[in-house]
């Protein structure tokens, strides 16, 4: 077992500790124990850790160090050396599980490569909590983290997910929520069902469910708080154009004086199908003008 008097017995151990996402009372007795006994506690925000320890009535005897996005690469190497000395290092983030859009992956990978024991204290996770309360299918899902900030990159990422059949879970900043929902409505369709989970487990928890277009309009009213977004997966056949309606639209435009080839090109572009495919269909079903 590790101790704090400079003497080390046993092998090093990395513990990934799940932190409460809103209520301190959600922590497990094991988290209390490991915070009190660890040689080093690497925290995403040391002030939040101290606040949590106070709320729990826990006295952290080991060394507390910061471990966040900007110093993760350098700090991971330092912590690896501590693990090699046979000490216990606990990684804890502001909320949820380390490594899930939070620091933790780098050190975990380094420790595994060195043959050091890596274990976890299961705890609250915004990903699975949001999935559970969303009302959307949860038998198969994927976690997509934060969408890209730049509109062009975000559009390309979402376009690549348009045919994803699993339920998708995203994190998003409240400042970008409205624009991300609008981009999703464009990529997935405004009627694709989703749930915006705000301030999960906290006093002002709110779950908004509905179509992406409807949610985008709601989010434009300045939403605040921690956001987890759950989006239904693609259902085969969803959003596929009605070919009869497309042919009728081409015929309507031709009747108004638009050249058939131009009408086909315009309608095909709006429907997102190859114009050759629509032209062949129109040619078979419509009389020659």
Residue 186 to residue 216: CA distance in whole angstroms: 11
Mean pLDDT of the chain: 89
pLDDT digits (tens, 9 = 90+) for 219-232: 998 899 999 999 99
- Residue 16: phi and psi, rounded to 5, are -95, 115
The mean pLDDT of 9-24, rounded to a whole number, is 86
pLDDT digits (tens, 9 = 90+) for 48-58: 999 999 999 99
CA 142 to chain CA centroid, Å, is 8
Domains delineated in the chain = 13-124 (3.40.1010.10), 127-231 (3.30.950.10), 243-285 (no CATH)
Of residues 28 and 271, which shows the higher confidence score? Answer: 28
Give the pLDDT of residue 286.
60
> Cβ(43)–Cβ(35) under 8 Å?
no
99: left (phi over 0), alpha (psi -120 to 50) or beta: left
Per-residue DSSP letter, 142? E
Give the pLDDT of residue 193.
97
Give the pLDDT of residue 238.
66
pLDDT digits (tens, 9 = 90+) for 130-146: 999 999 999 999 999 99
Per-residue DSSP letter, 2? B
Per-residue DSSP letter, 169? E
Query: Which residues are CB-contacts of 165 (< 8 A; sequence separation ≥ 6)?
Result: 140, 233, 234, 235, 236
pLDDT digits (tens, 9 = 90+) for 177-214: 999 999 999 999 999 999 999 999 999 999 999 999 99
Residue ranges with strand state E in the chain: 13-17, 40-43, 63-66, 88-92, 117-121, 141-145, 167-172, 193-198, 206-211, 227-231
* Distance set, CA 235 to CA 71, 139, 166, 273, 285 (Å): 42, 14, 9, 18, 29
pLDDT at 4 over 90: no
Of residues 81 and 264, which shows the higher confidence score? Answer: 81
pLDDT at 125 over 50: yes
Give the pLDDT of residue 204.
92
């Amino acid at each position: 077992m590790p101790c704090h008097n400079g003497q080390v017995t046993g092998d090093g151990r990395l513990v990934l500790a799940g932190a409460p996402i809103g209520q301190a009372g959600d922590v497990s007795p094991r988290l209390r124990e490991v915070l009190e006994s660890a040689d080093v506690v690497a925290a995403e925000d040391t002030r939040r850790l101290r606040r949590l320890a106070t709320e729990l009535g826990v006295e952290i005897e080991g060394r507390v160090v910061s471990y966040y996005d900007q110093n993760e690469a350098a700090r991971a190497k330092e912590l690896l050396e501590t693990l090699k000395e046979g000490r216990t290092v606990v990684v804890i983030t502001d909320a949820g599980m380390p490594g899930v859009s939070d620091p933790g992956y780098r050190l975990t990978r380094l420790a595994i490569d060195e043959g050091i024991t890596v274990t976890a204290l299961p705890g609250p996770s915004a990903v699975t909590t949001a999935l559970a309360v969303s009302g959307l299918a949860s038998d198969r899902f994927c976690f997509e983290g934060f969408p890209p900030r730049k509109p062009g990159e975000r559009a390309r990422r979402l376009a690549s997910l348009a045919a994803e059949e699993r339920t998708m879970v995203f994190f998003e900043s409240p400042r970008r929520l409205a624009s991300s929902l609008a981009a999703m409505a464009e990529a997935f369709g405004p009627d694709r069902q989703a749930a915006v989970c705000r301030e999960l487990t906290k006093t002002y928890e709110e779950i908004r469910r509905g179509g992406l277009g409807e949610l985008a309009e709601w989010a434009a009213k300045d939403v605040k708080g921690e956001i987890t977004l759950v989006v239904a997966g693609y259902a085969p056949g969803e959003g596929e154009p009605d070919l009869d309606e497309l042919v009728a639209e081409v015929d309507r435009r031709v009747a108004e004086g638009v050249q058939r080839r131009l009408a086909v090109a315009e309608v095909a572009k709006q429907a997102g199908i190859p114009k050759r495919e629509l032209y062949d269909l129109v040619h078979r079903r419509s009389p020659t003008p």
